[in-house]
Structure 1
Amino acid sequence: MSTRTAETIYTTLVDDIIAGRMAPGAPLVETTLAEQFGVSRTPVREALQRLEQANLAERGARRAVVVRRMAPEDLAELFEAAGEIESGLAALAAQRMSEIERRRLVAVLDEGEGCDDPVVYAEVNARFHDIIKTGARNAMLAATLEDMNLRTLSWRAANFHEDSGRLAASKAEHRAIAEAILAHDAETTRRQMRSHVAAAFMALSDTLSRRG
């Protein structure tokens, strides 16, 4: 089996679910998807397992896999948990990041501020957060955040496509987080990161409301 094939199927399905092209409750049938992608059922099965891990799919009647119905309160709890974990890591990063890491953070910050392409910015955004996570020097919290990111990053990236003001707001929030880290101010960093994740959820909530 090609890992790249499973990854391609997974990424395509994530994009379709997040963009609303696949409605909650829509069936994800192995044989149908295998025919659609021109592959065997094995990489499709792996992609569906990853969708379940990311809370984007669930088992319905007769164990059939369907697009998960994500209630607003579930998303709110998910983003709240991610915000608490990431804000804790950011506070540690403000105290523990090396000077080289701080310079890298500024470089990625500058790269993001000069970017207006939602697809490219989503990748820069992920690198910005990853530098902070690594700089915290706490493998246990980092592993927990990676699990949260599996469930939230695709939603957060979708904001840049669907909310015209979210990209600019994210840049300003990143600047505030970076300034607090450069000042070695752990508590301000914690507060700014928590606010940043909450703002991402609010933008997502507005997007889902517009979809009805």
Structure 2
Amino acid sequence: MPPIRSADQIHDALSAQIIAGTLRPGDPLGETTLAARFGLSRTPVREALQRLAAEGLVERGPRRAFLVRRMGSDALRHLFEALAELEALCASLSALRMTPTDHALLAGILDRDDLPGADYAQANMRFHEALRQGAGNAVLADLLADLNRRSLPWRNAQFQVRAARIETSRAEHRAILGAITARDADRAADLMRAHMGTSLGVILEMIAGRE
């Protein structure tokens, strides 16, 4: 891997780790530690962290130190309410617009039954991205882009912290796929809303520390 030498590259590397769940909500992002890790001065590191803060992925913690953004239960509910409606619209439009070839590609994402948490998180991202593409609406895709970035650390963490969520999520995806291949737009939307609601419930339990 070539050395990372710019604020843009640091931004991209940290963003990818946050979205993938390698860095989790609340994890510290010390400027000195990151500068040593990337072999740079603190200036480009600070610039990258400030950009991530503007994008909603990191926040200031005690003594103004940066950390991966945490969210309270109310903020998470509001975020997932918006996500659920937009994702439901994507599912509904995909049911009307996806072709049999699209259906086969979507089914292929769900083929693996043995994926661990981090790998399943990637498959989950691909499934939802396929539906955003299948909806065939660039404006809707753009609206989802920001909400998706802000929610992914939480959505990915659920599969690593709560392994049982992988199987229930997979079953929900298969039900959504069934509605889409049947071209039942209303059912696809309802199932997607329920899917996002279940994810929110798991995440809220996770952050509350309940087993």
Interval containing the TM-score (normalised by the shorter chain): 0.7 to 0.9
Counterpart residue identity of residue 123, structure 2: V
DSSP 3-state at the match of 2:115:
coil
Report the equivalent of 1:180: 179
Q: Aligned-pair distance for 1:106?
A: 1.1
Greater Cα offset, 28-37 or 102-111:
28-37
Report if aligned partners of 1:10, 1:47 keep a CA contact under 8 Å in 2. Answer: no
DSSP 3-state at the match of 1:110:
coil
The verdict on how the C-alpha distance between 1:87 and 1:36 changes in structure 2, with shifts beyond 3 A counting, is: same
> How many angstroms apart in 1 are the aligned matches of 2:179 and 2:162?
26
The verdict on how the C-alpha distance between 1:104 and 1:66 changes in structure 2, with shifts beyond 3 A counting, is: closer
> How many angstroms apart in 2 are the aligned matches of 1:6 and 1:141?
26
Report the equivalent of 2:13: 8
Report if aligned partners of 2:11, 2:49 keep a CA contact under 8 Å in 1. Answer: no
Report if aligned partners of 1:9, 1:44 keep a CA contact under 8 Å in 2. Answer: no
Aligned length: 205
DSSP 3-state at the match of 1:73:
helix
> How many angstroms apart in 2 are the aligned matches of 1:32 and 1:163?
29
Q: Aligned-pair distance for 1:174?
A: 0.2
CA RMSD of aligned residues (A): 2.7
Report if aligned partners of 2:31, 2:46 keep a CA contact under 8 Å in 1. Answer: yes
Q: Aligned-pair distance for 1:54?
A: 4.4
> How many angstroms apart in 2 are the aligned matches of 1:67 and 1:130?
24
Counterpart residue identity of residue 140, structure 2: L
The verdict on how the C-alpha distance between 1:54 and 1:159 changes in structure 2, with shifts beyond 3 A counting, is: farther
The verdict on how the C-alpha distance between 1:167 and 1:84 changes in structure 2, with shifts beyond 3 A counting, is: same
Greater Cα offset, 58-67 or 201-210:
58-67
> How many angstroms apart in 1 are the aligned matches of 2:108 and 2:18?
32
> How many angstroms apart in 2 are the aligned matches of 1:205 and 1:62?
27
Q: Aligned-pair distance for 1:5?
A: 4.0
Aligned ranges 1:26-175 → 2 under 5 Å: 28-59=29-60, 65-111=66-112, 114-175=113-174
Q: Aligned-pair distance for 1:50?
A: 4.5
DSSP 3-state at the match of 1:18:
coil
The verdict on how the C-alpha distance between 1:210 and 1:54 changes in structure 2, with shifts beyond 3 A counting, is: farther
Scaled by the length of structure 2, the TM-score of the pair is 0.84
- 5+ unaligned residues in a row in structure 2: which ranges? none
The verdict on how the C-alpha distance between 1:126 and 1:56 changes in structure 2, with shifts beyond 3 A counting, is: same
Report if aligned partners of 2:18, 2:153 keep a CA contact under 8 Å in 1. Answer: no
The verdict on how the C-alpha distance between 1:53 and 1:173 changes in structure 2, with shifts beyond 3 A counting, is: farther
1:114-143 Cα deviation digits (max 9, x unpaired): 233111111111111111100101100111
DSSP 3-state at the match of 1:131:
helix
Report if aligned partners of 2:25, 2:153 keep a CA contact under 8 Å in 1. Answer: no
The verdict on how the C-alpha distance between 1:156 and 1:66 changes in structure 2, with shifts beyond 3 A counting, is: closer
